[in-house]
Amino acid sequence: MRRILPALTGAALFAAAGLTVLATPHAASAADCTPAQVVANGGFESGSSPWTAPSGAITADSGQSAHSGNSYAWLDGTGSTHTDTLSQSVTLPTGCGAATLGFWLHVDTAETTTSTAYDTLAVKLGTTTVATYSNLDAQDGYVHKTVDASAFAGQTVTLSFTGTEDSSLQTSFVLDDITLDASGGTTPPQPGDPTRTPAAPAYTVNLTSDASGGSWTGHESVTFTNASPTALNEVYLRLWDNAHGSCPSTPITVTNVTGGTPAPLSVNCTALKVTLPAPLAQGQSGTVGFDLGITVPSGADRFGHDGAYNFLGNALPVLAIRDAAGWHLDPYTNNGESFYSVASDFTVTLDHPTSLLVPATGTSVDTPGAAGRTVTKATASKVRDFAWGAGPFTRISGTSAAGVKVNVYSVAGISAADAKSMLSTATSAVDAHAQRFGAYPYGELDAVIDNNFWFGGMEYPGFVLDLVSTTALTHEIAHQWWYGIVGDDEYNAPWLDEAFTDYATDLAQGKTGNGCWNNVSWASSAEKITNSMAYWDANSSRYSTVVYGYGKCALHDLRRTIGDTAMTTLLRSYAQAHWYGVSTTAEFKAASQAATTVDLTSFWSQHRIDG
């Protein structure tokens, strides 16, 4: 959590998470891929260029509605024999082994058949049809579609959408927010610790809320694989938000566990050991399920409610990590973060009153539920956690120049002008960070704004909590890379997400950090940038100054030491090599040394960066 301490102000309050690139053959290969989103003007907010489309097809006409912003592409809908084609040329960068085409599609039809595709939409890359839809796909509202386009890596092809109608009964194919993301592909191995497990968790969650959105009940399950050569006899679930209650009276309850035998809660009720029925050898998988209850406490916190507005950060139990150091069962910290998790997949279904908006991690699709209720299904791939909110928020939306959909959800009391300013900040920041470190991979980004947040801001994948603050929001969005995409052990190495994020914030805001290291003054010989949260919880007044401020200044100093070009290349390559992975201080130091002929031994000592 990005905490604001009363004695501190300005950029020193906000910071970043960093990760590392090893000078290995794999790292070099990963760096050959520069992740990118290659569709231009995918939200159609900049007119028709560079699209080729029939006159009037790209429109803000009230006959249909945009998925975000004002404009969209409307193909067909004439009710007579007709063909419309929307297209643009796209180039997928070389070296990237994976590519995903994504778009929002609304199909509106007058056809009544439930079995015959009279009117069709063909999606092509070059001459290859990669997806087809028809009048049989009609639905209320937009649905997000994704298509694997990895086979076209390194190619320049024409992306086209061709709608074809027969002689009667109209079908409209309405498109918006089209993206084509290229990335490095599979998660790179983590050479620093091949024992890290459980791996590749996949969470499935179904929850139903009460009328307020402050109480949720349902079921969660997680499937995982043992990646370690050492057998896996048990797993631990972290129930982080039980730190907000009194053990054993807890706001998060887990009952009816299947797939293993639960032990009593430990670590102040934030850890639940589940002994597996039989040890899992390397490569074997298991599943643990349980009934889940969540009660949101009062307070404008990352887990709490501010009046009618509920914030559910860290509310879902997630698997702890076992690595070379053993099981990570660190205590919860309110001063920063304790979270350490691997990239996971989440499918979360949230049944709630229609009067409540539910921003969430991942890409969300709403469908009607029972009377007066809506079912929000959020899917997220390769994320470290899942968070959501529930309340009568005011929402405004836009699309960044690079095609990222951004939603700003405001509580009562946030002016329309401030919400619009935060939307502008978010769309600019997400593109600025993506240009430096690699394309934003999480589809859409939700920012929830409440000036009562005592902590300033907090990041989750695709979901941030923040005040009305340009610097703070730019910082929290940088965490999508430094903690989200490139992970770290936030309890034992908090500088790897805070110092790097504050450095990225400076870069996005054009700040050079000139002379900032000159203001460093250590409180004791034990004080180091790389200290753990155990140290900072005991010395909380120094946490932000050292981890955020000194950490950021150390990275500015590193840039001056090795040169701007080398630093730019280092951080981008570093992110690519650990894309969806986990990094350590030792790996970052090795990557830095590999990027320069300057001996950095004295640099690390001077800047108190150990590891």
Q: Which residues are annotated as a binding site for Zn(2+)?
A: 475, 479, 498
Within 10 angstroms of residue 158's Cβ, the number of other Cβ atoms is: 14
Nearest to 13 by CA among 548, 390, 609: 548
Element (H, E) at 499: helix 495-508
Sort 295 into a burial class: Cβ within 10 Å, 0-12 / 13-18 / 19+: middle
**CA quadruple 502, 503, 507, 511: dihedral positive or negative?**
positive
Q: What are phi and psi of 196, to 5 degrees?
A: -60, 125
Within 10 angstroms of residue 190's Cβ, the number of other Cβ atoms is: 21
Q: How many residues does the chain have?
A: 611
CB 96 within 8 A of CB 185: yes
**CA quadruple 154, 157, 163, 164: dihedral positive or negative?**
negative
Q: Which two tokens stand for residue 195?
A: 């024992």
Q: Which two tokens stand for residue 125?
A: 């890359």
Catalytic residue, candidates 409, 548, 550, 580: 548
Q: Which two tokens stand for residue 206?
A: 């179904």
Sort 521 into a burial class: Cβ within 10 Å, 0-12 / 13-18 / 19+: exposed
DSSP 487: B
Please give the Cα distance from 412 to 450 (Å, whole number).
8
Contacts of 525 (CB under 8 A, 6+ apart): none
Please give the Cα distance from 345 to 379 (Å, whole number).
8
Contacts of 573 (CB under 8 A, 6+ apart): 21, 27, 30, 31, 591
Q: Is 490 annotated in the active site?
A: no
CB 208 within 8 A of CB 188: no
CB 19 within 8 A of CB 483: no
Q: Can you spell out the DSSP letters for 539-573?
A: THHHHIIIIIIIHHHHHHHHHHHH-HHHHHHHHHH
**CA quadruple 389, 395, 392, 179: dihedral positive or negative?**
negative
Catalytic residue, candidates 111, 165, 444, 476: 476
Please give the Cα distance from 479 to 17 (Å, whole number).
7
Q: Where do the DSSP E strands lie in 127-259?
A: 128-134, 143-148, 156-165, 171-183, 199-209, 215-225, 232-238, 252-258
- Give, rounded to a whole angstrom, the gap between the first and last alpha carbons of the chain: 23
As a whole number of Å, the CA-based R_g of the chain is 24
Q: Report in angstroms the alpha-carbon separations of 498 from 154, 530, 584.
A: 35, 11, 14
Q: Is 476 annotated in the active site?
A: yes
Q: Which two tokens stand for residue 515?
A: 């002379």
Q: Which two tokens stand for residue 89?
A: 């040329």
Q: Report in angstroms the alpha-carbon separations of 111 from 121, 170, 465, 468.
A: 15, 7, 44, 48
Nearest to 400 by CA among 440, 459, 366, 436: 440
Active site residue ranges: 476, 548
